Structure 1
């Protein structure tokens, strides 16, 4: 009954489990409560899960490490590729800048060389132009020569220096140690671009200025040479028209010429133009010397002619006679001047000429001055054109005070009017 009653009680109540351990005389027992069992189960489950996770990690760790390493390698490769591309870009830009710098230096060197050449030409032209202006003057029919601006050489020199200074700012000079990527990442325009543009504009401007200077130099040389040839031609034509001897080489053109065409550069053209001007001036100078040795001046300027050259009625006999000269009305005591340089060959009384002076001018030309009241030169004396040889009067075979003037060539009398006419034509060139 009791057992049944206990069992009924035990079945109605849940008693904690007790674990009894007997070892010899020792008996131990442990009461297992539900929460302890739950705790132990949870711990065992956690340990199992941890073990599984650790095992999975150990198994998958190599794959994870390999994937991470591959990812880092790809990132490093991409970074290195980017760096290589940037370096290549820097090298291209640097090479382009070096080429631009070399090109600009070459252009500046060419400009400096041209400027130096033009300065040397200007120095050569100075004395030649002064000589041309003194020899040629300004012929009436000639166009005025262009006047070269004095400040053009200085402006060209300053501008060339400005080109060099501008480009030195544009290039990556030694004073700028920043990497080129800093230049390329700036938001404002590159200094090299704007400076290079300014340098190019200055180069074009100064190159044009130097070309203008060179063109003006050539134009002026050509104009002076043309004026010299025109003056020489005018003198030659006047002398030939009067039947006076002229050197056959003057004004002679060489038309029978030929040969292959070889283009000339600017320096050769300039040298040829300068040579042409020098030859023209030499020709003109020689012609002037020849013309000045001829008796072309008027022995009594401002005084009328009372008797021309040629056949006339003799004033004393009243019959026809040859008058070997020209008579100019002149009062007694007026200065008589020689019409060309020469040497006195006669100075004294000479029959019907009365007091007479004869001057030899060379090349067979001579002049005589008769009826003088006074002689102020001696035989052998050298005279320049315009020197006083004496004073007018009425000595010898004369009806009144006047100046008898003769021109002779190889002893033969020539009409002085021809010389006076030529003298008026060439006076402006002499």
Structure 2
């Protein structure tokens, strides 16, 4: 070891560096040791490295901050886009619900309007059908048409009845507050077989509206068919009465009838409401005509004065029962037991009631329009002159008074004083009996 602190390089001694600083008379010297040089170099190297590192940090920091800011901006933009998309979806759903609600309210309004129309029709049909029942019970089966259920209609009969009599308004009104939670009331109108499993409430509501519309259309159609059929039947019955009266030469309005051949004009379609009103008016007119014809027919002596009794002498020329010579028999004789009730064959007013020569005890009844009937050979008279009678009223009891060979009823029909064969009236009465 070298005592003076000198180092050997390659086996040779090396003196430390000495720095001499002279300033005027002052002289200073420093000995520069190797370790000091190493420390000084290390310090300079550290400063340089630190500067480089600081410079690198400052250079890359802006890039890192920019990248982070851009990433955050992208995340925020994506979040805002997602929020906007969800908001738009909510708006679309809300708009669709509003449209569905408005559509449902419109449909409910239409159904309520049609239900009201059906109720009004029912109100109009009621009096007419009651009148038709009074005039012709066989032609009217029911006062309100039964609803027809179509194959696609899953409604219950009581629902149709409610629609007819005006009780369907609460059932239809509940549709105005329809929501997803209220879909249960529609389960009876549509099944899973009809709609897919994921069918919405609006789809079920549409199915319900279609079913109700079909039911209402079926009811309207059947109402119209019933009215049309009833009008046709009424016209047919009136025609039958008219033809029977005309065939017998009895008075009848010859202008009556709905079948005119000399007609024409442009085709102008009409809606169901106007068609229904037209058919109802036609039915009303037909009932008026039928009622008028029936009243006219009922005023005529068409009934049999002794139903079920045998005719012993018809109208016409015969051998007089007392003299045996040819004579005109002006009426018909019915074999009837002594003391049986004699009834008038049509409404009228008694013009004669008492003894009348060969007629014996006789009652004559005026039926209007020049028609009279006579009931002779009575044993007892129970009416007086001027008395008003209805068809079937008892006018007395049968007997054998006057020129008679035994108990019987002599029945005559006269027009303007001239005798007419009563058989002609009886035949007409037999034909029109079911219409009267």
The bucket for the TM-score relative to the shorter chain is 0.7 to 0.9
Q: How many residues end up aligned between the 2 structures? A: 404
- Taking the aligned partners of 1:9 and 1:375, their CA distance within structure 2 comes to 188
The question of whether the paired residues in 2 share the 8 Å contact of 1:240 and 1:246 is answered with yes
The C-alpha deviation readout for 1:53-85, integer Å capped at 9, x for no partner, is 222333454455445444444444444444444
- Taking the aligned partners of 2:128 and 2:259, their CA distance within structure 1 comes to 24
What SS does structure 1 have at the residue aligned with 2:102? helix
Give the equivalent residue in structure 1 for 2:187: none
What SS does structure 2 have at the residue aligned with 1:339? coil
Give the equivalent residue in structure 2 for 1:236: 242
Question: How far has the Cα of 1:318 moved from its partner?
Answer: 0.4
Give the equivalent residue in structure 2 for 1:104: 104
Question: How far has the Cα of 1:203 moved from its partner?
Answer: 0.8
- Taking the aligned partners of 1:413 and 1:77, their CA distance within structure 2 comes to 115
The question of whether the paired residues in 1 share the 8 Å contact of 2:379 and 2:400 is answered with yes
* Matching of residue 394 in structure 1 with residue 400 in structure 2: yes
Question: How far has the Cα of 1:252 moved from its partner?
Answer: 5.1
Give the equivalent residue in structure 2 for 1:136: 136
The question of whether the paired residues in 1 share the 8 Å contact of 2:129 and 2:143 is answered with no
The question of whether the paired residues in 2 share the 8 Å contact of 1:326 and 1:405 is answered with yes
The question of whether the paired residues in 1 share the 8 Å contact of 2:342 and 2:396 is answered with yes
- Taking the aligned partners of 2:66 and 2:282, their CA distance within structure 1 comes to 91
The question of whether the paired residues in 2 share the 8 Å contact of 1:329 and 1:401 is answered with yes
The C-alpha deviation readout for 1:270-310, integer Å capped at 9, x for no partner, is 11111111111111111110111011111111211110001
Give the equivalent residue in structure 2 for 1:358: 364
Match of 2:200 among 186, 194, 201: 194
Give the equivalent residue in structure 1 for 2:161: 153
What SS does structure 2 have at the residue aligned with 1:356? strand
* Matching of residue 257 in structure 1 with residue 263 in structure 2: yes
- Taking the aligned partners of 1:7 and 1:300, their CA distance within structure 2 comes to 183
Give the equivalent residue in structure 2 for 1:302: 308
Question: How far has the Cα of 1:15 moved from its partner?
Answer: 9.3
Give the equivalent residue in structure 1 for 2:124: 124
TM-score w.r.t. length of structure 1: 0.83
- Unaligned runs of at least 5 residues, structure 2: 148-156, 184-196
- Taking the aligned partners of 2:142 and 2:125, their CA distance within structure 1 comes to 17
- Taking the aligned partners of 1:303 and 1:7, their CA distance within structure 2 comes to 184
The question of whether the paired residues in 2 share the 8 Å contact of 1:365 and 1:407 is answered with yes
Give the equivalent residue in structure 2 for 1:179: none
* Matching of residue 269 in structure 1 with residue 275 in structure 2: yes
The question of whether the paired residues in 2 share the 8 Å contact of 1:17 and 1:31 is answered with yes
The question of whether the paired residues in 2 share the 8 Å contact of 1:353 and 1:370 is answered with yes
Question: How far has the Cα of 1:232 moved from its partner?
Answer: 0.9
The question of whether the paired residues in 1 share the 8 Å contact of 2:235 and 2:258 is answered with no
Give the equivalent residue in structure 1 for 2:379: 373
Measured at CA, do residues 6 and 230 of structure 1 come closer, stay the same or move farther in structure 2, by a change above 3 Å?
A: closer
Moved more, 282-291 or 62-71: 62-71
- Taking the aligned partners of 1:257 and 1:342, their CA distance within structure 2 comes to 41
- Taking the aligned partners of 1:199 and 1:237, their CA distance within structure 2 comes to 56
The question of whether the paired residues in 1 share the 8 Å contact of 2:126 and 2:143 is answered with no
- Unaligned runs of at least 5 residues, structure 1: 172-188
The question of whether the paired residues in 1 share the 8 Å contact of 2:145 and 2:223 is answered with no
Question: How far has the Cα of 1:426 moved from its partner?
Answer: 1.1
Question: How far has the Cα of 1:161 moved from its partner?
Answer: 4.4
Measured at CA, do residues 362 and 60 of structure 1 come closer, stay the same or move farther in structure 2, by a change above 3 Å?
A: same
The question of whether the paired residues in 2 share the 8 Å contact of 1:145 and 1:220 is answered with no
Measured at CA, do residues 344 and 404 of structure 1 come closer, stay the same or move farther in structure 2, by a change above 3 Å?
A: same
Question: How far has the Cα of 1:236 moved from its partner?
Answer: 1.2
- Taking the aligned partners of 1:155 and 1:259, their CA distance within structure 2 comes to 38
- Taking the aligned partners of 1:56 and 1:357, their CA distance within structure 2 comes to 147
The C-alpha deviation readout for 1:193-242, integer Å capped at 9, x for no partner, is 52111101111111111111111211111121122112111111111121
Give the equivalent residue in structure 2 for 1:284: 290
* Matching of residue 114 in structure 1 with residue 126 in structure 2: no
* Matching of residue 337 in structure 1 with residue 343 in structure 2: yes
Give the equivalent residue in structure 1 for 2:55: 55
The question of whether the paired residues in 1 share the 8 Å contact of 2:348 and 2:388 is answered with yes
* Matching of residue 204 in structure 1 with residue 241 in structure 2: no
Question: How far has the Cα of 1:32 moved from its partner?
Answer: 5.0
What SS does structure 1 have at the residue aligned with 2:397? strand
The question of whether the paired residues in 2 share the 8 Å contact of 1:297 and 1:340 is answered with yes
What SS does structure 1 have at the residue aligned with 2:200? helix
What SS does structure 2 have at the residue aligned with 1:428? helix
What SS does structure 1 have at the residue aligned with 2:318? strand
* Matching of residue 384 in structure 1 with residue 384 in structure 2: no
Question: How far has the Cα of 1:119 moved from its partner?
Answer: 1.5
What SS does structure 1 have at the residue aligned with 2:49? helix
Give the equivalent residue in structure 2 for 1:428: 434
Give the equivalent residue in structure 2 for 1:320: 326
The C-alpha deviation readout for 1:10-50, integer Å capped at 9, x for no partner, is 5359899698899999989788574x765554443232112
